[in-house]
Amino acid sequence: MLHTSTNLTSAQSIVDVLQAVIEKSAAHIASWATDEDQTVAYDLASMSSAVAAAAELLRHGTGEEAEADLALVYAADVAADLSGRLTGREALWGVAPTELAGIADQVAAGRDPALLDRVAERVLASSEAGPRHLSEDLQLVRSTFRKFAEDRILPVAERIHREDEDIPAEIIEGLAEMGCFGLSIPAEYGGSAEGGADELLSMVVVTEELSQASLGAAGSLITRPEIIGTAIARGGTEEQKQRWLPGIAAGEKLCGVAVTEPDYGSDVAGVTTRAVRDGDDWVLTGVKTWCTFAGRANYLLVLARTNEDRTVGHRGLSLFVVEKPSFPGHEWSMAQEGGGTIEGRAIRTLGYRGMHSYEVRFDRWRVPATDLIGMDDGLGRGFYLQMQAFANARLQTAARAVGVMQSALGLAVDYTRERSVFGRPLAGYQLTRVKIARMAALVAACRAFAFSAARAVTANGGQLEASQVKQLACRAAEWVTREAQQLHGGYGYAEEYTVSRLFVDARVLSIFEGADEVLALRVIARQLTKA
């Protein structure tokens, strides 16, 4: 009990000081920085995400020794990171060189190899980062999807990755039967969302379990229904909701998103794909890229410029639902009477295989005016509807990252317990145990933050938190999978070992659904420093 009380107090002391530094620095940076001063703004945003996660890890626990230890380990790691970013730039941050001196003893306690060894001992015994504290209902959801992932996804995950195959229909059909695609769609339109405080938390729990088995073959299947379903639910007419949402919720209509363009990625407001009104139709022309699952999709959510006056920027953009047949494979095309065409070509990628990301070319493709989300009321609202939908997607992406990390942690535990080096198990070495403990603390912090952000977004807020946890968890997934791969030694570089797939899959997480730098500079830092 002595350890528990002391470590909780120490962790809280660290978090209190870190929060004060972030608040003080945000106010100072707001007083001098411009959009050109990106270095300090990026560090402020990144550290704010880590500090917020440290606070949530403290709140998430019940005060037991294992959780107190994890909270102190993570808080101390965050303090050490912040100290490094402050050194030599204190004046830019608006803090004194001694700002963290008052918590030096607590940070030292959190970085003590003896504490890390104690954390590692528990993780090595359980393969878990820490308790989740889920309700009975959510625990049932978790166990149900875990079993599905183990029985139906894991046996084919490696083959899909190595051969860059399509996701088998039986996985999609199985998840549809379990209601996986309607988790955030209102119950009145065939989904399971009824407005409860934990409705997005259910999505987070499901996503983590599926992503543990495979990011590309299962964990990402929910993302596109989340984006398109949210956009329709918030901006569509009643007729459109009735027409589109039930099929999405049932998994009968698969979804893709066509927003990014070859010259406009995170700068969504600059898109050039045009939609020109012609009688009862809109005519789409332009090229989209990184359209994940666009081949198999029946509905493509397309962001296009409906106002040719480019000076109005994002206010000239609207969202369309383009209906199409589902195509397997890596290339597809379709044509209309009158000459309109759509062509799709899959982009070969390092990882994240199974979903396939396409370049999609629209050439005079006619879309009924009734397929513009919101119809006349939706003109010029595409950017706003998409940004609202992307809050859910960022939260879901954070859950994907946690699932990948948890899988990597479990594999690292299994391997280091079984592998002997110089006559003793790899798990018996101090450095191995330190790595395992720090990995677990990071996974636990990201998970706790994802749970908290889910509740915030459900309560019609949480835009900042969703962006922070997405930015943090996705960067963390790269480090955790890298460490897990390193612990496997040469075998970690072999495709026959799952950890190599996790490593290349994790790399995409900081790029899509809001690139790391863009989230930090244009979302998180701006909200922290706004007057």
The one-character DSSP state at 270 is G
Which of helix, strand or coil describes residue 263? coil
Catalytic residue among 252, 418, 513, 517: 513
Asked about 496 being catalytic, the answer comes back as no
Say if residue 164 is exposed, middle or buried (CB neighbours under 10 Å; 0-12, 13-18, 19+).
middle
Which of helix, strand or coil describes residue 135? coil
Reported for 87-94, long-range contacts at CB under 8 A and 24+ positions apart, including other chains, are: 89/40, 89/43, 92/29, 92/40, 93/21, 93/25, 93/28, 93/29, 93/40, 93/44, 94/24, 94/25, 94/27, 94/28, 94/29, 94/31
The C-alpha atoms of residue 287 and residue 263 are separated, in whole angstroms, by 10
Question: Which parts of 336-465 are beta strand (E)?
Answer: 341-347, 357-368, 420-421, 424-425
Report whether 372 contacts 282 (CB < 8 A). Answer: yes
| DSSP string across 301-340 | EEEEE----GGGGGGGEEEEEEE-----SSEEEEE-TTS-
The C-alpha atoms of residue 218 and residue 68 are separated, in whole angstroms, by 33
Which of helix, strand or coil describes residue 293? coil
Give 282's strand partners: 277, 367
Strands 255-258 and 299-305: parallel
Say if residue 431 is exposed, middle or buried (CB neighbours under 10 Å; 0-12, 13-18, 19+).
exposed
Cα pseudo-dihedral 347, 348, 353, 357, rounded to 10? -10
Report whether 294 contacts 256 (CB < 8 A). Answer: yes
| DSSP string across 86-122 | HTT-HHHHT--TTTTGGGHHHHHHHT-HHHHHHHHHH
Which of helix, strand or coil describes residue 26? helix
In the numeric block, which tokens belong to residue 414? 């299994």
Catalytic site positions: 513
